[in-house]
């Protein structure tokens, strides 16, 4: 019989490390001596009679104490996720003791179960949370695996590892076991690595290590981990799924640059946690390998099948599928991993496929994992599973990505017809609490919907407004490259079809846009303000009234729309493409109109044509100043685009989406207040003097909390007054921007909505055109001059929109592979002359 006291030293030998820190939390530090006292109290609380303990394994001091106390008292632990996720397991296994946030609930004095002496821990198998199937682990399993991990990682007593993974997940639990075994400290937190508070705690605790699954490294890329200064970091570990080889090499190189080691590891719950690791010095040259067996373990590759088989003291006792199985001893001697592997000449093992995930679809044997790998080579992050019908492959791809492209890549790669590939583009891929793919949730995506998909004419409506082709229900307005110029037209036409639109309709997939019963009409504040601002501009210039400030209000709103439509979760390249396209939609029609005015009327000089009058035009006099607003907007967009093209700035914006525009605004205040007295000696272009206002609008778009909105409001109230020396003009700008910050929509009517939408959608073109219209009429009738200017601008907007849509369709047609017939065409996979993937599934 195995002695628990001898087998699990990390649970019973805590006092040996005396006053060294054991658990570091935001609330303070607990030493090993204090932890030993708390664990001892838990041992006494649970008593000497052996019972089955169900523990909600959150990353908390109480959970760690309960886990260690149960092990030290030789009580088998059924570890489940916190928050009620273990209710199904509790019902299936009827634990004697339940420990959760509410405390210790002793259900019976003696166990209702026959518990094998070696049984120490019960964990859900990977991907089966909620299933009654459990992995049975012994004290020897826990001890051996913790010792092996501590040995190859070189864990030292002065190490401090953050709990970046949940404790109920075997990988997260192995971090706890191995570091406590070595007398190292745990930085105990349930914060995500995407949370700034995590890194504050990690730095304050002088963290030396953290662990991650592939999704963790997605988050690290988003928060700019490569640029972080972490002076005490010694090693980073990765397991829980395949990390793309190029990302392995990149993080290994990053670690080499910054002085920490990157360990890629391979394991399964059935092996307690780890079976193999890739020595860090080989990660850059052999990033596709899983490495070598952990100390005390060994591999063999089964002849014929190529399946990887593991042996070692950390191999589980066996599975449990019902309470009676808790009495079983060892039922397996080695672990058949289910992975197909090969052994390289350098002695490193490499996984090449997965036996259990093969699916047969329409006679073809498909490996979903290989489909994921090949999509990854094309820059698409996706999870794939066989559908419930057995006749389709379900692909969940992380957006933004074109589902038509994904479907075509899959059909070309594995020979399936397009009708058998169901692509779903999601903002975030379904994952289990451990961060692993949730294959059941992905498979459920293909289940028949309770409601029918949106009608095809809704997709055609998007194609018509945005001048593109191949729109599917998985697309959204933002993913299709929509911007502020097309937003108004799109929202107006959608409202006619669907009724009331939700505020975030532009980010929702088309399939989620459903007809709703019409209620009270409302008008989005940004649309109303654009319509009012352009009328104020034209009316003031035509002397119908005198209410200035409309152009500066439009500039602030341009920043608002920039943050809203362009700074999405898309990748950096996709973002830059959208910003550049939006820039072109402003600059090209402007240059075209100014060029026509020069040729036909001789109205302007060449600096105006190049939108450089504020740099090269005359200081005073002339008509070049007419287009100062367009020039300022174009110049600001060019500079902001250049900034976001820098990877570090892109990462900074993703990590601090509200803070970055505030910082840019603060920088702009240098020229707003002319702190260096530059303007009298040097002619500062409009964009230099006014870009702080664009940044305020940008920050308003990213203000997601009440405090954010208060900060933006304070910035508006503190910087706009005094700028013009005209309180009335300043009041217009302040009122408009504050309304934009605090009020999402205004009460309206259908007629008002239609008029506002037309004016707002044509605001840029009205601004361009009115300079050539109102001077010819205002001396006759100011109202007529205003109406004629608005009508001419609306007509120019219609012309530009028609041309842009036609060019957009031609461009989409040119990008479409020759011979392809759309997303449902099986012939598209046989098009000649296209690059094809090199592997083919075998027919059976």
3-state SS class at 569: coil
Among residues 350, 370, 404, the one where a domain terminates is: 350
Chain Cα centroid distance, residue 670: 34
Lowest mean per-residue pLDDT among 642-651, 683-692, 820-829: 820-829
- What percent of the chain is predicted at pLDDT more than 90? 54
pLDDT at 53 over 80: yes
- Residue 37 makes CB contacts below 8 A (sequence gap 6+) with none
Strand partners, 119: 138
Rounded (to 5) percent helix, strand, coil in the chain: 50, 15, 35
Distance between start and end Cα atoms, the chain:
49
pLDDT in tens, 326-335: 999 999 999 9
Chain Cα centroid distance, residue 335: 36
Check residue 738 and give its pLDDT. Answer: 96
pLDDT at 378 over 80: yes
Residue 778 DSSP class:
T
d(C-alpha 481, C-alpha 490), whole Å: 12
- The answer to pTM > 0.85 is no
Strand partners, 365: 360
Same domain for 640 and 504? Answer: no
pLDDT at 680 over 70: no
d(C-alpha 799, C-alpha 796), whole Å: 5
Strands 276-278, 119-124: pairing kind:
unpaired
pLDDT at 644 over 50: yes
d(C-alpha 433, C-alpha 173), whole Å: 13
pLDDT in tens, 223-272: 889 989 999 999 999 998 888 898 999 999 999 999 999 999 999 999 99
Neighbour count for residue 766 (Cβ, 10 Å): 25
d(C-alpha 588, C-alpha 768), whole Å: 12
Same domain for 151 and 265? Answer: yes
Check residue 679 and give its pLDDT. Answer: 59
Among residues 469, 492, 522, the one where a domain terminates is: 522
CA-closest candidate to residue 372, choices 248, 218, 242, 251: 242
Residue 835, in any domain of the structure: no
Residue 817, in any domain of the structure: no
Check residue 454 and give its pLDDT. Answer: 47
d(C-alpha 92, C-alpha 82), whole Å: 17
d(C-alpha 15, C-alpha 515), whole Å: 65
Check residue 363 and give its pLDDT. Answer: 55
d(C-alpha 535, C-alpha 547), whole Å: 10
State the average pLDDT over residues 174-182.
97
State the average pLDDT over residues 691-717.
93
Same domain for 320 and 431? Answer: no
Judge contact between 328 and 117, C-beta under 8 A.
no
826: domain CATH number is 3.30.300.30
3-state SS class at 265: strand
Same domain for 154 and 266? Answer: yes
Same domain for 703 and 782? Answer: yes
Among residues 332, 350, 368, the one where a domain terminates is: 350
Residue 811, in any domain of the structure: no
CA distances from 304 to 120, 156, 301, 308, 320 (A): 36, 43, 9, 11, 30
Same domain for 133 and 224? Answer: yes
Is the preceding peptide bond at 704 cis, omega within 30 degrees of 0? no
Kindly state the helix (H) or strand (E) to which residue 350 belongs, with its residue range.
Answer: strand 349-354
d(C-alpha 414, C-alpha 361), whole Å: 10
Residue 527, in any domain of the structure: yes
Residue 34, in any domain of the structure: yes
Give residue 824's pLDDT band: very low, low, confident or very high (50, 70, 90).
Answer: very low
Check residue 338 and give its pLDDT. Answer: 86
3-state SS class at 322: coil
- Dihedrals φ, ψ of 733, to 5°? -65, -45
Same domain for 32 and 56? Answer: yes
For the packed helices 727-742 and 525-541, what is the interaxial angle rounded to 10 degrees?
160
Check residue 93 and give its pLDDT. Answer: 93
Check residue 832 and give its pLDDT. Answer: 28
pLDDT in tens, 501-523: 776 677 777 877 776 655 567 78
**Considering the chain, what is the average pLDDT of its residues?**
85
d(C-alpha 57, C-alpha 209), whole Å: 21
The 8 Å CB, 24+ separation contacts for 5-10 are 5/72, 5/74, 7/120, 7/138, 7/139, 7/140, 7/142, 7/143, 8/71, 8/72, 8/120, 8/139, 8/142, 8/143, 9/143, 9/181, 10/68, 10/142, 10/143, 10/146, 10/177, 10/178, 10/180, 10/181
505: domain CATH number is 1.10.1200
State the average pLDDT over residues 748-754.
84
CA-closest candidate to residue 640, choices 718, 562, 524: 562
Residue 843, in any domain of the structure: no
- Residue 237 makes CB contacts below 8 A (sequence gap 6+) with 153, 209, 210, 211, 212, 262, 263, 264, 265
Domain of residue 505, residue span: 456-522
Same domain for 338 and 239? Answer: yes
Same domain for 498 and 527? Answer: no
Residue 106 DSSP class:
E
Judge contact between 179 and 205, C-beta under 8 A.
no
Same domain for 173 and 231? Answer: yes
Judge contact between 79 and 67, C-beta under 8 A.
yes
Residue 338, in any domain of the structure: yes
For the chain, the domain total comes to 4
Judge contact between 366 and 378, C-beta under 8 A.
no
- Dihedrals φ, ψ of 431, to 5°? -135, 150
pLDDT in tens, 419-437: 788 899 998 888 877 677 8
Lowest mean per-residue pLDDT among 49-53, 75-79, 281-285, 438-442: 438-442
Check residue 831 and give its pLDDT. Answer: 30
pLDDT at 94 over 90: yes
Residue scoring higher pLDDT (828 or 369): 369
- For 367-425, the DSSP string reads -HHHHHHHHHHTT--EEEEE-TTSS-EEEEEESS--HHHHHHHHHHHH---GGGEEEEE
Same domain for 429 and 493? Answer: no
State the average pLDDT over residues 53-72.
94
Same domain for 567 and 556? Answer: yes
Check residue 820 and give its pLDDT. Answer: 35
Strand partners, 263: 237
What is the Cα Rg of the chain in Å? 32
pLDDT at 663 over 80: yes
139: domain CATH number is 3.40.50.12780
Residue 812, in any domain of the structure: no
CA distances from 363 to 87, 360, 392, 417 (A): 40, 6, 11, 12
pLDDT in tens, 194-210: 888 899 999 999 999 99
d(C-alpha 355, C-alpha 304), whole Å: 13
pLDDT at 535 over 80: yes
d(C-alpha 149, C-alpha 339), whole Å: 22
- Dihedrals φ, ψ of 593, to 5°? -70, -45
3-state SS class at 30: strand
pLDDT at 151 over 90: yes
d(C-alpha 271, C-alpha 338), whole Å: 13
């Amino acid at each position: 019989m195995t002695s628990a006291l001898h087998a699990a030293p990390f649970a019973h030998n805590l006092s040996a490390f005396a006053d060294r820190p054991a658990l570091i939390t935001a609330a303070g530090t607990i030493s090993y001596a204090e932890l030993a006292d708390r664990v001892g109290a838990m041992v006494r609380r649970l008593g000497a009679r052996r019972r089955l303990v169900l523990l909600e394994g959150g990353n908390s001091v109480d959970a760690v104490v309960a886990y260690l106390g149960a092990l030290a008292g030789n009580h088998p632990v059924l570890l489940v996720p916190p928050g009620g996720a273990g209710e199904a397991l509790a019902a299936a296994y009827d634990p004697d003791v339940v420990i959760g946030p509410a405390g210790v609930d002793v259900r019976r004095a003696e166990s209702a179960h026959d518990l094998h002496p070696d049984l120490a821990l019960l964990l859900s198998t990977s991907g089966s949370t909620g299933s009654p199937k459990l992995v049975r682990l012994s004290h020897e399993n826990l001890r051996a695996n913790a010792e092996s991990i501590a040995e190859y990682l070189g864990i030292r007593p002065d190490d401090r590892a953050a709990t970046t993974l949940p404790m109920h997940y075997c990988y997260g639990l192995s971090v706890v076991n191995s570091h406590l075994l070595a007398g190292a400290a745990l930085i105990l937190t349930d914060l995500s690595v995407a949370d700034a508070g995590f890194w504050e705690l990690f730095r304050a605790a002088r963290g030396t290590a953290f662990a991650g699954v592939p999704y963790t490294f997605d988050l690290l890329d988003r928060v700019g981990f490569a640029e972080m200064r972490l002076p005490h970091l010694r090693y980073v570990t990765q397991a829980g799924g395949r990390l793309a080889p190029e990302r392995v090499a990149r993080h290994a190189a990053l670690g080499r640059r910054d002085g920490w080691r990157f360990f890629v590891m391979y394991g399964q719950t059935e092996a307690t946690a780890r079976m193999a690791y890739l020595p860090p010095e080989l990660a850059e040259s052999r990033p596709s390998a899983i490495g070598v067996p952990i100390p005390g373990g060994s591999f063999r590759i089964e002849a014929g099948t190529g399946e990887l088989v593991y042996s070692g003291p950390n191999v589980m006792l066996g599975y449990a599928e019902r309470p009676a199985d808790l009495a079983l001893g060892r039922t397996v001697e080695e672990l058949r991993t289910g992975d197909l592997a090969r052994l390289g000449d350098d002695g490193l093992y490499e996984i090449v496929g997965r036996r259990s995930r093969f699916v047969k679809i329409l006679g073809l044997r498909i490996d979903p994992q290989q489909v994921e790998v090949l999509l990854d080579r094309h820059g698409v992050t996706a999870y794939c599973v066989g559908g419930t019908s057995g006749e389709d492959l379900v692909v969940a791809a992380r957006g933004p990505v074109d589902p038509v492209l994904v479907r075509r890549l899959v059909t070309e790669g594995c020979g399936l017809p397009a009708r058998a590939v169901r692509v779903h583009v999601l903002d975030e891929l379904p994952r289990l609490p451990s961060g692993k793919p949730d294959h059941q949730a992905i498979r459920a995506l293909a289940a028949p919907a309770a409601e029918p998909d949106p009608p095809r004419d809704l997709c055609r409506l998007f194609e018509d407004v945005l001048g593109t082709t191949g729109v599917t229900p998985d697309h959204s307005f933002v993913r299709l490259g929509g911007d502020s110029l097309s937003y108004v037209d799109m929202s107006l036409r959608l409202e006619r079809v669907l009724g009331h639109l939700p505020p975030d309709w532009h980010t929702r997939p088309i399939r989620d846009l459903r007809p709703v019963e019409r209620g009270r009409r409302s008008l989005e504040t940004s649309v109303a303000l654009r319509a009012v601002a352009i009328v104020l501009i034209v009316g003031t210039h035509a002397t119908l009234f005198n209410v200035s400030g409309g152009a500066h209000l439009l500039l602030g709103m341009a920043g608002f729309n920039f943050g809203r439509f362009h700074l999405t979760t898309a990748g950096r390249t996709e973002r830059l493409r959208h910003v550049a396209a939006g820039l072109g939609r402003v600059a090209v029609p402007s240059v075209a109109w100014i060029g026509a005015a020069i040729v036909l009327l001789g109205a302007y000089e060449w600096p105006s044509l190049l939108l450089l009058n504020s740099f090269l035009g005359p200081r005073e006099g002339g008509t070049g100043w007419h287009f100062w607003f367009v020039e300022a907007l174009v110049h600001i967009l060019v500079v902001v685009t250049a900034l976001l093209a820098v990877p570090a700035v892109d990462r900074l914006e993703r990590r601090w989406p509200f803070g970055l525009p505030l910082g840019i605004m603060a920088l702009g205040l240098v020229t707003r207040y002319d702190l260096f007295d530059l303007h009298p000696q040097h002619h500062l272009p409009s964009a230099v003097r006014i870009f702080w206002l664009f940044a305020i609008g940008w920050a308003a778009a990213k203000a997601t909390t009440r405090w954010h909105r208060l900060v933006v409001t304070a910035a508006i109230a503190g910087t706009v007054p005094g700028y013009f020396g005209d309180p009335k003009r300043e009041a217009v700008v302040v009122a408009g921007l504050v309304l934009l910050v605090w009020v999402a929509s205004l009460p309206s009517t259908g007629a008002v909505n239609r008029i506002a939408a037309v004016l707002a959608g044509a605001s840029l073109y009205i601004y361009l055109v009115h300079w050539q219209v109102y001077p010819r009429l205002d001396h006759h009738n100011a109202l007529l001059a205003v109406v004629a200017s608005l009508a001419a601008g609306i007509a120019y907007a219609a012309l530009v929109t028609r041309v842009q849509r036609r060019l957009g369709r031609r461009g989409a047609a040119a990008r479409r592979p020759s011979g392809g017939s759309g997303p449902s065409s099986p012939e598209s996979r046989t098009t000649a002359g296209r690059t094809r993937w090199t592997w083919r599934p075998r027919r059976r």
